[in-house]
Homo-oligomer: A and B are copies of this chain.
Amino acid sequence: MTDVLFGYPAKEPAHAGRPTKVHPGKRVTMVHTLTPAADLGTDVEDVARLVSATGERMRDADLDPWVADVDTAQLQGLYRDMVLVRRMDAECMALQRQGQLGLWAPLNGQEAVQVGSARPLREDDFTFPTYREAGVNYVRGAEPAQYMRAWRGEAHSSYNPYDLGSAIQQIIIGAQALHAVGYAMGIQRDGTDQVATVYFGDGASSQGDVNEAMIFAASFDAPVVFICSNNHYAISEPVGVAAKSPIAGRAPGFGIPSMRVDGNDVLAMMAATRWAIARARQGHGPSFIEAVTYRMGPHTTSDDPTRYRTQDEVEAWRRRDPIARVEGLLRAQDAFDDDFTAGVQADADALAADIRTACLGMTTAPAISILDNVYAEPHAGIDEERRWFGAYLDGFADAPAAGTQEQAS
């Protein structure tokens, strides 16, 4: 008969849980303690963290080794990334409010999750973002127009995925988790040491697809990193609807080691992702990161969050701002002078201006183009519809701009 023990697996010497020593094989680990919380809204301290909300560097034996090389210059880089991402997000919000975009899903508050988890990727890695991961695409090298061509309604994807190493932003909640696992299976078959990463939300963790993705990833030891951006809400539903205990606690059950990380701590996010990516590159299979963060803005520009949450709650999270704490850290290192901030500010302004220009300069494709790319090879049905539609459009030949490019309004 077995002992009656909590925990899974049986208790082990503490060091065995350190990320650097996580055994690649069958061992299932949860690297950080999880206390099932009565209220997931208040569990934000139960995370791995390297920088406090006030900007002090904290020690974490698991994470520290993964950011030992991060010097002041790199920290400044992360700061700059986040400021630019926030500015990009704000500009797109503004463009939407001005009627230039149909919709925007703001990421304000989640800059650290996105920058911290995307920076560790190599150019030849591949990521699978959701609608909210514009900050990830910033890191992947997006051109200005590539942030919002789709949100403007000009096309379904803002960019060619192979240009950025980033799949098209997924709107069907959770579907991309399986794509990432399949892509990672492809990497295995090619025998390279690339990795795939995938983003999804706390709400998404309820979808069958996300769970199946973990099962497939574990079954095939796929080199994939699951990044759950727990921003505390699925539109109006607090994370407590989706999970009675921390989401990071699910992965070990599927045989996937996981970490629960302060998602507003860019350094911790970078460390955790490096840990997970290293495991994947070395052939040790999938890992899972729950990034505990907060969506400061509305779900999308269509949403009114005052209907379901208090200003107090939002303010509490403002005090955990991901950018401010890096500022604190940099100040402590005397690396936050006017030169630096002015440079960052100028870059941010330039990015915003470029985005605006790109957006306003967009042209709408001709009507007949809606029949393009339905199939990759010739298709009798589409060919016929093209003839019909062409003949129809020709009937308007004298009408202005029919069948030709329209200038954006």
A interface residues (Cβ-Cβ under 8 A, vs B): 1-12, 14-18, 25-38, 46-49, 58-62, 205-209, 211-212, 215, 218-219, 241-245, 249-255
| A211: min CB distance to chain B, Å | 4
Known: A14-B5, A243-B255. A28 touches B36 (CB 8 A): yes
Q: Complex Cα distance A47/B34, Å? A: 25
B residues near A249, Cβ cutoff 8 Å? 8, 28, 252-253
- Quickly give the copy total for this chain: 2
Q: Hey, which chain B residues are within 8 Å of A244, CB to CB?
A: 26, 28, 218-219, 254-255
A/B interface sample: 20 pairs, CB < 8 A: A1-B58, A2-B32, A4-B17, A5-B14, A5-B33, A6-B11, A6-B16, A8-B249, A9-B35, A10-B35, A11-B11, A26-B38, A28-B245, A28-B249, A206-B212, A206-B215, A207-B208, A243-B255, A244-B255, A253-B254
User: Which residues from chain B contact A28 at a C-beta distance below 8 Å?
Assistant: 36, 244-245, 249
Q: For A28, A62, A244, which residue has the most chain B Cβ atoms within 10 angstroms?
A: A244
Cα–Cα distance between A47 and B358 once the two chains are bound (Å): 63
Asked if B6 contacts A29 (CB within 8 A), the reply is: yes
Most chain B CB neighbours (cut-off 10 Å) among A8, A12, A28, A33: A8
Q: Which residues of B contact A8 (CB under 8 A)?
A: 6-8, 30, 33-34, 249, 252
Residue in A15, A18, A25, A28 whose Cβ sees the most chain B Cβ within 10 Å: A28
C-alpha spacing A215/B3, complex, angstroms: 28
Q: What B residues does A242 contact at CB under 8 A?
A: 215, 219
CB <8 Å contact, B4 and A7 = no
Contacting residues, chain B, for A25 (C-beta < 8 A): 38
Is the beta-carbon distance between A14 and B18 smaller than 8 angstroms? no
Q: Is the CB of B36 within 8 A of A27?
A: yes
Residues of the B chain whose Cβ atoms lie less than 8 Å from the Cβ of A12 = 6
- Minimum CB–CB distance for A26 against chain B, Å: 5
Kindly list chain B residues whose C-beta atoms are within 8 Å of the C-beta of A209: 208
A50 to B365, CA, bound (A): 72
Whether B9 and A36, one on each chain, are in contact in the complex, defined by CB atoms closer than 8 angstroms, is yes
* A58 vs B2: C-alpha distance when bound (angstroms): 11
Are B255 and A49 in contact, with the CB atoms below 8 A? no
Residue of chain B at shortest CB distance from A214? B211
Interface pairs A-B: 6 shortest CB-CB: A208-B208, A7-B7, A250-B253, A211-B211, A244-B255, A253-B253
Across-interface contacts of A207 in B (CB, < 8 A): 208, 212
Report Cα–Cα, A215/B5, bound state, in Å: 24
Closest CB-CB distance, A62 to chain B, in whole Å? 6
Q: A208: which of B30, B211, B245 is its contact (CB, 8 Å)?
A: B211
A1-B48 in contact (CB<8A): yes
User: Are A2 and B46 interface neighbours, CB within 8 A?
Assistant: yes
CB-CB < 8 A to A7: which residues of B?
6-11, 30
Of A1, A15, A31, most B-chain CB atoms within 10 Å: A1
- Once A11-B11, A26-B244 are accepted as A-B contacts, the answer to whether A2 and B33 lie under 8 Å apart by CB is yes
Partner among B206, B251, B255 whose Cβ is within 8 Å of the Cβ of A36 = B255
Residues of B contacting A2 in the complex (Cβ-Cβ under 8 angstroms):
32-33, 46-48
The residues of B that contact A46 with a CB separation of less than 8 Å are 2
Given contacts A244-B26, A254-B250, whether A32 and B9 have CB atoms under 8 Å apart is: no
Residues in B with CB closer than 8 Å to A254 are: 243-245, 250, 253
Given A8-B33, A8-B252, output 10 extra A-B contacts at Cβ < 8 Å: A2-B32, A3-B33, A6-B9, A8-B34, A205-B215, A206-B212, A208-B211, A218-B244, A243-B255, A245-B254
